[in-house]
Amino acid sequence: MRYSGFKVFTEGLTGNKGWKPVWRDPEPKSEYDIVLIGGGGHGLSTAYYLAKNHGLKNIAVLEKGYIGSGNIGRNTTIVRANYFLPGNSEFYSHSLKLWENLEAELNYNVMHSQRGLINLFHSDGQRDAFARRGNAMINQGDDAILLDREGVRQHLPYLDFDNIRFPVYGALFHPRGGTARHDAVAWGYARGADMRGVDLIQNCEVTGIDIEGGQVRGVRTSRGVIRAKKVAMVAAGRSGQVAAMAGMRLPIESHILQAFVTEGLKPVIHHVVSFGMGHFYISQSDKGGLVFGGDLDFYSSYAQRGNLPMKEHVMEAAMTLMPMIGKARVLRSWGGVMDMSPDGSPIIDKTHIDGLFVNCGWNYGGFKAVPASGWAYAHLIATGEPHETAKRYRLDRFRTGRGIMDEEGTGSQHNLH
Amino acid sequence: MRIAGKGLIDTSKTVSFSFDGRRIEGAEGDTVTSALLANDIRLVARSFKYHRPRGILTAGSEEPNALVTTGSGAGAEPNVRATMVEIHEGLEVKSQNRWPSLGFDVLSVNDLAAPFFGAGFYYKTFMWPGALWEKLYEPLIRRAAGLGALSGDNNEDRYERAYAFCDLLVIGAGPAGLMAALTAARAGADVILADEDSRMGGRLLAECEEIDGKPGHIWAAEAVAELAGMENVRLMPRTTVTGAYDQGTYGALERVGLHKAADGHLPRECFWRIVARRSILAAGALERPIAFPDNDRPGIMNAGAVRAYLNRWGVAAGKRVAVYGNNDGAHQTARDLMDAGVEVAAVIDSRKDASVALDAPVITGGRVIATSGRLGLEEITVATGSGQERLKVDCLAVSGGWNPTVHLACHMNGRPVWDEAIQSFVPKAGMIPGMEAAGAANGVFSTAGCLADGAKAGEAAAADLGKKASKTKMPKASDSAYRLEPLWVVEGKGRQWLDFQNDVTVKDVRLAAKENYRSVEHMKRYTTQGMAPDQGKNSNVGALAVLADATGRGIPETGTTTYRPPFVPVSIAAMGAGAQGKGFAPQRFTTSHAASVERGAPMIEAGMWYRPSYFPRPGEKTWRQACDREVTMVREAVGICDVSTLGKIDVQGPDAAAFLDFVYTNTMSTLPVGKVRYGLMLREDGHVMDDGTCARFGEGHFVITTTTAAAALVMRHLEFVAQGLRPDLDVQLVSVTEQWAQFGVVGPKSRDLLNDLLDAPISDETLPYMGHQAAQVMGVRGRLFRISFSGEHAYELAVPARFGEALYRVLVARAEMLGGGAYGMEALNVLRIEKGHITHAEIHGRTTAFDIGFDKMISRKKDCVGQKMAAREGMVEESREQLVGLKPVGAVKQLTAGAHIFVEDAQAKRENDQGYVTSVCYSPTVQSFLGLGFLKNGRARYGERVRLVDHLRGVEAVCEVVNPVFFDPEGGRLRG
Amino acid sequence: MRVVCPHCGERDRREFTYQGAAEILDRPAPEVENDAWADYLHLRENPAGETRDMWYHDPCGAWIVMHRDTVSHAVHGGELASEVRK
């Protein structure tokens, strides 16, 4: 069923009786060519592009909960391509291009809103680091503008320019950055994959990965054994547990990242804004809630919930940067489990087991990566060769020391990225 | 309508406030909603999506409809629950989300278009053409959405945060909470009793119930009085416990001054972090509506709220009221109203077999199938067993049963369990370590049951805490059974509203199920059910029931969505109190701060510290003029610079030398006493962590320095190595950064200056380059290091911090007499770039010793942190970006840090990227712009011309790649 | 969240700095080959459940091996790193 304004109109006139299920609910078959472990954003986009770009049909996505129950449904919805290290630059640039056509691609309104991302800086040193970043973005073919203090004031007149602890020196402005409706991304890809014959199997937990003679044979699940020629792990947040079923240890530590939303308010923040001195970023959803977040809680955790110290720290940053939002009330806070990698960059690679692939380590940047990650992972699974935009996301880079992509420069301690 | 003689407030004390500019008279103790109802005002708000007229549903913090803005200007608070606002003289209240007025709202046309605006419609449209999303569709949606508005002005009010500790936190001061607190407090436990109401007592204030033969509110007042008199009890009214966190930590929001006009002194709110060894959740229960057609009109209220307004505030919510329910509790509403002389048009009980002993028209097995009244309820249509009946009423009191307030118990991911008898969810034991639920929150609904359950929980908590509770005498109270028959949806023409706030209807939930958004989370996210300011407190259980029915599953099987903190919304200002303005982070000042400010130096942030940028002199118009002069002054005479912000760590112990060999790449054990050595530290991953100096004071005594930025990080790292990796080494570390004020005395005349001040003069023989010694300066014992960051003949003189300011003033005065003076960070930066010295602009966490040309500093004769990983093949490849100097070829306007480097005629794109510029300056010494940067295989490319491209600033420059040491590469001046 | 310091007792989480898994204490000898070294530094068991990890108590300077649960957030207690390694 094709969605359109006309369809919404005619359905409205006829009592909305004609809407069809957005995806099927199939029983798992006993064998597939490809099984994807994880029905989050990355798994669903991978399934979609396996079908769409590579014409593959016999694919299952196994999801232990409901589709989109991981971090695709609990993030701060930011989409940007403002990386500066080779590897990340081309990958996120590709992702942003896919985002820009995603509604048409999926025939599903993911509300990708290119309202502009403004990263503030608060010292000459930060300015120069942002300049390096911005120039890298332009070298990549993306957009960036360096704003001075007055330039920031024109865009964000509501910041506390006079009394803030760390004065605003300027900002790196990324006009094509923005937000999207997170759940819609999962649903749009799920619907697209389903329409192309992919079996989306919910409430199906993988409990084991069968390997014979160094070759993957299939998976064991809460709904029975499923044989597969290729098995692709794409379960950020639980990557370690899934990989352990294949006897692998990953360079991943799981951490909590909290996020917050206020009650609905009339439009007041029109960009995505990030503070350079206090791990705070904010945007306003189309429903009116201020959506914001900060840093990790910093201790490893799988709890999908955080504690007060980081909540309070985030509110402190809000109060020093933009005290005009003080009277907004936080309605809900939640936590997502992040796959933190040793350089803050992800992994899309084969494993030492034939037919077993790994996609993990998205840190807190997985949402904006969903289109390109699926695209590249599908390419790797289908062809056996890494995609041009993701060939640096190698699992062995920590052993070789070659191509480490540490954008934060904080080193191999997982929680510092 | 106020009923004379009813209620617990003194109606003779009038208080007036304004609602949408209209003056309203209420009484002391009124909330905005009780006062509005007393003035027969039912229309209070407009809904979120369809701008439907909405009134007052509840009398508590769960209110979904009556959200208002209080105050004005910077003091305006949007989205305040009018039910929770205590009126005070002069209070301004405004309705929200309407234009031009509450009674006539243009966007209510949305309601007419509702067939096209069903659940998730926006996912299916607004896609074409793509460019219109940001330009047209989204701005329209954004403008229509949202509720109240922020003022746009900076917060000017006071907020606070506070901490409390107790044995037992009792959440809720109804019958269960009061009994629990009394029982545990009498046993000697330290108790905090928190209740979100201004007055403690819970439902006892809202009901006509007797306890021990006296009115319930009197019993409550006596219990509160007893608790107030106990030293081990802290009563916290107006305090909502908002979240349950790990290890018995609870967040709580106290409305300290919101019930008064802001006076600038009393905080508006205080956010508490309460640590409790045990807690009792006695938060009561929330009544739930019934989803019948057009059930959202102003005047349709929860039955319990109608009783609360009547019994507590003496207000009848209508002149002619009908009561509609599925349980015995609803009957009490009719009884109370009739006792107060209010006309009850009908009692409609959905249960066919209900026995209703009331002197009012009773319709058993009845269903409300329609309502009418544009801005408020005027008429209802009831389907009876025999037909339909229309009733003119202005208030319909509805009860679909009660949901225990389980929210806090679920904040650690635990799921409540379905209780068939009460048709709702109840907490299960152990969901929050240390927490027990009691009373209505635990699914116990009679007053006697609540009292007993509270006492039991209080006793158990006391016993857990090692206190013996004496036998509690149970007060006598009613123990009527709670009987209900589930009633979720009433079919009929018209929309049955579930989530009033987000305008979600039964049809929306059914559509979600039909479209296969069958998981409860999918349904929630697709329809926005439960995502409004009440977070589904009024509607989630009902919506679940609809979904369960639509998908052919039971309610428990369907499951709940996740309960997340906070229980009620918390203002950012309260939770972030203290951080506004400068309070966000500590401010650290050097001892020379005042002297620098006196000299007009702009003070800039350096981490937590403030340091002088430059010292302007008369006639200097730009920072560059001052900076150039300061650099020249240092190169030709002597300059003074406060370097106290560098981290200083005192390392002592028999194994101090071995320890330093392990944390530095180079060898410190061979350093003679009285000497200083430059040291490089790596992270274990082989990248450079920090650099600094290491001075040896004795066999087992060193003082090392770190960069300003990395002081705390290095200290923590060294402790980690000492305790975690090398506990075999006997070494002790202490940070002495703040104990010593340290000043650079830099330039060819530095020794002359010092020798005028030192009690014992120095010479090249007594203090050669990279030497240090104890020094007596004007009678003060200090330390003198001959080290240099500028490449000049230079010293650093350290004295105990209390002498810092005096010494700095003397040094600057002496320097000025010698043709020098103070210099700031700008000049410091130029001086170090001229010498090719690195800072964190170069050692930014991604560079290796190899990259900065220091790989020979990694001693192979010993193990050290980072040595192994620095030797990985990818870490020492020639193709890596290596530190180089960049010197313009020909005239350039400027160089910029952050520019990228390309082969001279290559296109500036990623594929051609050769490196980047980290630091730049204009060097008055070399009379040229200079740059430091990283270039692929850079050390092999000296002499090559490259192009620096800074798209952002529009700067391009051709530079020659050179050795990064631009000035005095032989180092003659250091030793001179 | 409250965390236990063997010196100072139960303290607020804000007083601590977290580092990562206690596996980091098993530092290989210098002669161990590079790959094993890289694995030591980067790969993690990352258990969902009981774990031991490194916490620094900033006020007293103690590095602590904490015994904790990554799912329930229970903190069972901690030992000084210097004692664990002895």
Whole-number Cα distances in Å, B299 to A148, B53, B318, B714:
55, 11, 7, 66
Whether B330 has a pLDDT exceeding 90, the answer reads no
List Cα–Cα distances, B186 to B204, B224, B467, B819, B870, in angstroms. Answer: 22, 13, 10, 78, 66
Q: Is B461 helix (H, G, I), strand (E, B) or coil?
A: helix
Q: Span A44-72, mean pLDDT?
A: 97
Given the cut 0.95, state whether the ipTM is greater than it: yes
pLDDT, position A278: 85
**Chain-chain contact of A288 with B146 (C-beta, under 8 angstroms):** yes
Does A304 contact chain C (CB < 8 Å)? no
Task: Give chain B's radius of gyration (CA, Å).
Answer: 38
Q: pLDDT-based confidence at B469, cuts 50/70/90? A: confident
Q: Is the dihedral of CA B747, B749, B751, B754 positive or negative?
A: negative
pLDDT at B836 over 80: yes
Average pLDDT over residues B561-568: 96
Say yes or no for a CB contact (<8 Å) between B124 and A4.
Answer: yes
**Does C51 lie at the interface with A, CB-CB under 8 angstroms?**
yes
pLDDT at A17: 93
Architecture of domain B648-735 in this structure: 2-Layer Sandwich (3.30)
Q: Which chains touch B (3 or more CB pairs under 8 A)?
A: A, C
The fold for domain B877-976 equals: Elongation Factor Tu (Ef-tu); domain 3 (2.40.30)
**Which DSSP state fits B153?**
S
Q: Name subunits touching C (3+ CB pairs < 8 A).
A: A, B
- Would you call A319 and B949 a contact, using CB atoms and an 8 Å cutoff? no
The burial class, CB within 10 Å (0-12 / 13-18 / 19+), for A112 is buried
* Order of strands, sheet of B379-383, starting from the edge strand that comes earlier in the sequence: B367-372, B379-383, B388-392
Mean pLDDT for chain B? 96
3-class secondary structure for B708-753? Answer: CCCHHHHHHHHHHHHHHHCCCCCCEEEECCCCEEEEEEECCCHHHH
A388-410 residue pLDDT tens: 999 999 999 999 999 999 999 99
Of A15-19, B143-147, B175-179, the range with the lowest mean pLDDT is: B143-147
- 3-class DSSP assignment, residue B665: coil
pTM: 0.97
Nearest to A16 among B511, B683, B918 (CB): B511
Would you call C20 and A240 a contact, using CB atoms and an 8 Å cutoff? Answer: no
CATH of B1-152, one of 3.30.470.20, 3.10.20.440, 3.40.50.2000, 3.40.50.150: 3.10.20.440
What are B685's two structure tokens? Answer: 């991953």
Which stretch of A119-123, B182-186, B261-265, B612-616 has the lowest confidence by average pLDDT?
B261-265
The tens digit of pLDDT for each residue in B387-433 reads: 999 999 999 999 999 999 999 999 999 999 999 999 999 999 999 99
Is pLDDT above 80 for B871?
Answer: yes
Dist CA B196 CA A22 (whole Å): 44
Spatial contact of B783 and B774, defined as CB atoms under 8 Å apart:
yes
**What residue of A is the nearest CA neighbor of B588?**
A165
CA B583 to chain CA mean position, Å:
15
Write out the two tokens for B751: 């020794």
In the complex, which subunits touch A with 3 or more CB pairs below 8 angstroms? Answer: B, C
Which pLDDT score is estimated for B144? 86
CATH topology of domain B160-286+404-464: FAD/NAD(P)-binding domain (3.50.50)
Whole-number pLDDT of residue C83: 94
Q: Which sequence spans correspond to the domains of chain B? A: 1-152, 160-286+404-464, 289-400, 492-558, 591-645+739-832, 648-735, 877-976
Q: Which of C13, C55, C71 sits opposite A303 (nearest CB)?
A: C71
Q: Measured between alpha carbons, how far is B635 from B791 in angstroms, rounded to an integer?
A: 9
Q: How far is the alpha carbon of C13 from chain A, nearest alpha carbon, in Å?
A: 7
Class of domain B289-400: alpha beta
Q: What is the DSSP string of A24-87?
A: --PPPPSEEEEEEE--SHHHHHHHHHHHHHH----EEEE-SSSTT-SGGGSS--EE-----STT
Interface contact C43-A253, CB threshold 8 A: no
Confidence label for A261 from pLDDT (cuts 50, 70 and 90) = very high
Residue A103 and residue B130: Cβ atoms within 8 Å? yes
Mean pLDDT across chain A, nearest whole number? Answer: 97
Give the CB-side neighbour count of residue B487, counting CA atoms within 13 A: 28
Closest CA to B679 of B660, B654, B698, B697: B660
Cβ pair B638, B756 in contact under 8 A:
no
Q: Does the fold of domain B648-735 match that of domain B492-558?
A: no
- Whether the CB-CB separation of A318 and B576 falls below 8 Å is answered with yes
Question: Are the beta carbons of B249 and C62 separated by less than 8 Å?
Answer: no
What's the rounded Cα separation, in Å, for the pair B297 and B348?
A: 18
Q: Is B725 on the interface with C (CB under 8 A)?
A: yes
Per-residue pLDDT at B380 exceeds 90 = yes
- B872, closest residue in chain C (CA to CA): C34
Q: Does residue B649 come out as left (phi exceeding 0), alpha (psi in the -120 to 50 range) or beta? A: beta
The answer to whether residues B373 and B299 touch, using CB atoms and an 8 Å cutoff, is yes
- Tokens for A172? 């790196």
> What percentage of residues in chain A have a pLDDT greater than 70?
100
Residues B182-211: tens digit of each pLDDT? 999 999 999 999 999 999 999 999 999 999
Across-strand partners of C45? none
Chain A residue numbers touching B146 (CB-CB < 8 A): 264-267, 287-288
| Among B670, B622, B647, CA closest to B861 | B670
Helices (H), A74-200: 88-99, 102-106, 124-140, 149-155, 182-195
- Per-residue confidence (pLDDT) for residue B891, from 0 to 100: 86
Place of tokens 């980047």: B916
Residue range C49-56: mean pLDDT, rounded? 98
With an 8 Å Cβ cutoff, are A328 and B572 in contact? yes
Q: Which residues of B touch A320 (CB under 8 A)?
A: 579-584
Q: Residue A180 in contact with residue A143, Cβ under 8 Å?
A: no
**SS3 assignment, position B69:** strand
The β-bridge relationship of strands B603-606 and A117-121 is: unpaired
Alpha-carbon gap, residue A259 to A281, rounded angstroms? 10
Judged by a CB distance cut-off of 8 A, whether residue A51 touches chain C is no
pLDDT at C85: 74
Nearest by CB: A303 against C39, C45, C73:
C73
Put simply, the answer to whether B724 touches C34 (Cβ < 8 Å) is: no
Is the CB of residue C2 less than 8 Å away from at least one CB of chain A? no
Return the residue of A nearest to B579 by Cα: A316
Q: C72–A300: do the CB atoms touch at under 8 Å?
A: no
pLDDT of C86 strictly over 80: no
Q: What is the mean pLDDT of residues B864-875?
A: 97
How many CA within 13 A on the CB side of residue B931? 30
Burial of B494 from C-beta contacts in 10 A (0-12 / 13-18 / 19+): middle
Nearest CA in chain C to B249: C1
Confidence bin at B900 (pLDDT 50/70/90): very high
User: Does residue B976 have a pLDDT over 90?
Assistant: no
**Residues in B touching A86 (Cβ below 8 Å):** 910, 913
Backbone angles phi and psi of B473, in degrees to 5: -85, 120
Distance from CA of A343 to the nearest CA of C (A): 10
CA-CA distance, B311 to B318, in Å (whole number)? 14
Let me know if B181 is exposed, middle or buried by CB neighbors in 10 A (0-12, 13-18, 19+). Answer: buried
B868 vs C2, C34, C82: nearest CB: C34
Answer whether residue B357 shows pLDDT above 90.
no
DSSP E strand boundaries for A175-223: 178-179, 199-201, 206-212, 215-221
Average pLDDT over residues B613-627: 97
Q: Which of B572, B15, B568, B580 is nearest to B260 (CA)?
A: B15
Residue C74 forms contact with A (CB below 8 Å): no
Fold of B591-645+739-832: Gyrase A; domain 2 (3.30.1360)
State yes or no: pLDDT of B356 exceeds 90.
no
CATH number (3.40.50.620, 1.10.20.60, 3.30.2270.10, 3.90.470.10) of C2-84 reads 3.30.2270.10
Distance from the Cα of B717 to chain C's closest Cα (Å) equals 10
Residues of B in contact with C24 (CB under 8 A): 724
Could you say which residues from 15 to 74 on chain C have a Cβ atom under 8 Å away from some Cβ of chain B?
17, 19, 24-25, 27-28, 30, 32, 34, 37-38, 41, 54, 56, 58, 61-63, 72-74
User: What's the CATH number for B492-558?
Assistant: 1.10.10.1100
Nearest-CB residue to C13 (from A250, A309, A342): A309
Restricting to B residues 728-747, those with a Cβ less than 8 Å away from any Cβ of C are 733
pLDDT in tens, A145-161: 999 999 999 999 999 99
